[in-house]
Each structure stands twice: as C-alpha cells, then as structure tokens.
Amino acid sequence: QKEVEQNSGPLSVPEGAIASLNCTYSDRGSQSFFWYRQYSGKSPELIMFIYSNGDKEDGRFTAQLNKASQYVSLLIRDSQPSDSATYLCAVAGPPGGSYIPTFGRGTSLIVHP
C-alpha cells in the first residue's frame, strides 16, 4: 500500500514569514512529486512539480526533494493571507506516463495578518 503522509495542521504563520510544508512517502519507486493547493470548497490546483533531487523554485514557491529520505517539502516565502489553503502532496510513477497518483491528506495553512 503506497502511503503519502502529511501533517494535517493547521500550520499557522504570520504574514511575510516562510511557511514550510512537509510530506513523506513510502514507495521508493515514486518518480514524480506534486504540490497542489486547494482553497476551501474549491478544486485542487497544481502549483509545483519536481522529479529530481534538490530544489526547484518558482516565484515565492520552492519544492525540495530528497529521494534517499523519501521526503518532499514546499516552502512558501513571504507568505500572504491569500496563501491560506490546504496543500496536497501527491506522488506518482514516471513523469508524463500513465500513473495513479497517491495523494496525502493535506496540510491546512493559515497565514494571519
């Protein structure tokens, strides 16, 4: 059984701080890693994906992957109240192919002014 674990939170950070969201996964064969954002009552939206060990930056977001430790994280710099949402981590097989992604249960982030 493939598992993706996330702390459900809520993670509360002040506006302007760095929010750090973490995810661990059980399947060592996982090759694709995704972060989705889901606002309350809305559908998930992909914000980052990463395949290789190391960091990937996109604006205020940085995804970090450590395959040896089976660990993925998402850093949000200069957090804004509009970042308040649930963040879903997902892992899957080879990039671009057919896959059944396994989602974590999500971490609720609250950015307070």
Partner 1 sequence: EAQVTQNPRYLITVTGKKLTVTCSQNMNHEYMSWYRQDPGLGLRQIYYSMNVEVTDKGDVPEGYKVSRKEKRNFPLILESPSPNQTSLYFCASRRTGKETQYFGPGTRLLVL
Is the bond leading into 10 cis (omega within 30 degrees of zero)?
yes
Q: Choose the stretch contacting partner 1; rule: CB under 8 A; options: 10-18, 21-29, 69-77, 96-104.
A: 96-104
Going by DSSP bridges, is the β-strand pair 4-5/61-66 parallel, antiparallel, or unpaired? Answer: unpaired
Q: Choose the stretch contacting partner 1; rule: CB under 8 A; options: 22-30, 61-69, 70-78, 91-99.
A: 91-99
Q: Which is nearer to partner 1, 19 or 35 (CB)?
A: 35
**Distance of closest approach, residue 61 Cβ to partner 1, in angstroms:** 15
Measure the CA–CA gap between 105 and 87, rounded to whole angstroms.
Answer: 9
Mark residue 81 as left, alpha or beta (left: phi above 0; alpha: psi -120 to 50; beta: remaining): alpha
Residues near partner 1, by CB under 8 A? 4, 32, 34, 42-46, 49, 88, 90, 95-96, 98, 100-106
